[in-house]
Amino acid sequence: MDSESDEAFPASIEAAWGLRERPHKGPKRGLTLQGIVSAAVKVADEEGLDAVSMSRVGAELGSSTMALYRYLATKDELLALMLDTALGPPPPLPEGLGWRRGLESWATSMRAAILAHPWTVRLLAPKGPPATPNQLAWLDQFLRILQDTGLPASAKLATQLLISGHVWSHVSITAAIMLDTDPGSRRRWSAYEPFLRRVTGEGRLPGVRAALDEGAFGEDPHAADRHFAFGLERALDGVEAHIRSLG
Amino acid sequence: MDSESDEAFPASIEAAWGLRERPHKGPKRGLTLQGIVSAAVKVADEEGLDAVSMSRVGAELGSSTMALYRYLATKDELLALMLDTALGPPPPLPEGLGWRRGLESWATSMRAAILAHPWTVRLLAPKGPPATPNQLAWLDQFLRILQDTGLPASAKLATQLLISGHVWSHVSITAAIMLDTDPGSRRRWSAYEPFLRRVTGEGRLPGVRAALDEGAFGEDPHAADRHFAFGLERALDGVEAHIRSLG
DNA sequence: CTCTTCTGCGTATGGCATACGCGGTACTGC
DNA sequence: GCAGTACCGCGTATGCCATACGCAGAAGAG
């Protein structure tokens, strides 16, 4: 009955939900899943996601590479669990905010949680349905915020897709700039405006050229925050209009 | 003068803009950048993005691995150019559509262009400012559609971020399902609803549970299309309200 | 006709995920 | 208390990968 779902979902994800098995036969386990994941998160925080290899994580634990495979079937499982613990659970929501302020807060918290560990950005690309505890907790909070709006459940999910998509895509661009510690590609951003100017010459790409001449590409460092807020407000305006049209 | 920007942007990207150098000294070149990129796109289409290795592409051309490095500094450059040619230029826009229908059409075309080569999804994660010809052409079309709306250029860019973010994130999820040819993970989707039911027991995750009981997770195959349209309409509603408030 | 510069490409390096199997451990059933 | 067994950590090995380096030869420049 339940044994089928045990097969369909990786054992390590089951384990993350606390569905531990009885203490089996062999020798005592020297490691824990949580310990492995924490070590991997530490490595990612300190040396970047590319430094997270099975051998590097093993070394961090004073263990060997292959020992980890007694806890994880593949590296992808490790990455999924790293994402889950790095994001953490959503912060508790103040009562009585109303759905709009609630979603605003949700999106802002989500953005902050991601940027607290910028390498999570690259792991947010969905590889399957959300299945880890914290990921589902964020989804759950979102759905609860919309509880009393009268939206059908499928519209709630579609709204979550819109808002979290905005957070994700915005944060991806932010991270692409922020994470650029390499001086070579940092130079690329400063060379961007002259590059665009060259490429938009002779009447090519008039839309880009107009934006360029309006100074939209040489913006102040707070432009990212303002763009995030702008998109979020537009999206919420649209949701609000739709909710009103239902009542 | 211009030589600085030549340094800041990879030579292969300059080459993609047709800024070819004079036929230099040595032996004739046996390959072309376009030929390499086309071969790589072919491999990705037929065998998936993971099959695209320098040696596989070299073999496709009857050439060696290292020959490619006379045309590309790194594999990342190849991937950037693959993305650009796979997306292609935006289809010409019917005249007089009005900005709203225009953006709708833009987003729909963009989604179709991505899904025509589903592996592009993974390459859309921004690694720097958009710099290749077709990427900038899509951006340009978007900005031109908003030409007469009275929006400041920075708002136009923020709007583009919102809409393209929606397209990207939606298509990412769609692709995560579509590309799942592996029977093991296909099973995971069908096992998802029972999994959620198990995990939302005992009052946990009430928001998810409510959506589950409303049947929102066991939806028909056209749910993806409807969710895409829903999010797009909400976003455009918000933009429309904002544009009205300016006039 | 030589010289220089660029070509394709062979070889080598260091990294990676992970398959496989061994020797030993500690719980289970007798 | 003892055998059996299932599971442990982990050494070794395989087959990928991107790419650094340098060489031999080709072809335009003088």
Length A70 CA → D9 C1' (Å):
9
Residues 6+ apart with CB under 8 A from B36: B57, B61, B68, B71, B72, B78
pLDDT at B23: 62
What pLDDT, on a 0 to 100 scale, did the predictor assign at position A1? Answer: 35
In this predicted structure, what is the pLDDT of residue B4?
A: 39
CB B166 within 8 A of CB B110: no
Q: pLDDT tens digits, residue range A42-60?
A: 999 999 999 999 999 999 9
CA neighbours within 13 Å on the CB side: how many for B206? 5
Helix (H, G, I), strand (E, B) or coil at A169: helix
* Average pLDDT of span A195-218: 93
Instruction: Identify which of A173, A187, A233 has the shortest CB distance to residue B126.
Output: A173
Cα angle, residue B64 at apex, residues B60 and B66 outer, rounded to 5°: 125
Chain A residue with Cα closest to B213: A153
pLDDT band at A120 (very low <50, low <70, confident <90, very high): very high
| pLDDT score of A103 | 98
Mean pLDDT (whole number) for A92-120: 96
Nearest-angstrom CA–CA distance, B235 and B163: 7
Chain A hits for B195, CB-CB cut-off 8 Å, are 5, 8-9, 131
Query: Which of A36-40, A93-97, B129-133, B183-187 holds the top average pLDDT?
Result: A36-40
Looking at the complex, report in whole angstroms how far the Cα of residue A66 sits from the nearest Cα belonging to chain B: 24
pLDDT of A4 higher than 70: no
- pLDDT band, residue A20 (cuts 50/70/90): low
User: In this structure, is the CB of residue B26 within 7 Å of any atom belonging to strand D?
Assistant: yes
* pLDDT higher than threshold 60 for residue A213: yes
Do the Cβ atoms of B52 and B117 come closer than 8 Å?
A: no
pLDDT greater than 70 at residue A182: no
Provide the mean pLDDT of chain A.
Answer: 90
Q: At what angle do helices B206-213 and A133-145 cross, to 10 degrees?
A: 70
In this structure, is the CB of residue B74 within 7 Å of any atom belonging to strand D?
Answer: yes
The pLDDT score that the predictor gives to residue B113 is: 98
Q: Does the distance separating the beta carbons of A9 and B144 come in below 8 Å?
A: no
The residue-averaged pLDDT of A12-41 equals: 82
Shortest Cα–Cα distance, B23 to chain A (Å): 23
Of B162, B176, B187, the CB nearest to A126: B176
The type of residue at A136 is: L
pLDDT for res A192? 87
Which of A17, A169, A178 to substitute to test the interface with B, most B CBs within 10 Å? A169
- Give residue A71's pLDDT: 94
- Contact between residue A71 and residue A4 where contact means Cβ atoms under 8 Å apart: no
Spell out the residues 6+ positions from residue A101 whose beta carbon is closer than 8 angstroms to its own: none
Q: Give the bases of strand D that a protein CB approaches within 7 Å.
A: 4-12, 16-22, 25-29
How many Å apart are CA A155 and CA A137, to the nearest integer?
19
pLDDT digits (tens, 9 = 90+) for B41-92: 999 999 999 999 999 999 999 999 999 999 999 999 999 999 999 999 999 9
Give chain B's residues under pLDDT 70. Answer: 1-8, 19-23, 179-188, 219
Question: Positive or negative, the Cα torsion across B122, B125, B127, B133?
Answer: positive
Strand D proximal to B221 Cβ, under 7 A? no
In whole angstroms, D26 C1' to B119 CA is 39
Give mean pLDDT, residues A195-217.
Answer: 94
Mean pLDDT, residues A195-221:
91
Alpha-carbon span B205 to B224, nearest angstrom: 24
B246 secondary structure, DSSP code: H
- Encoding tokens for residue A18? 């606390």
Q: A97 to chain B nearest CA, in Å?
A: 17
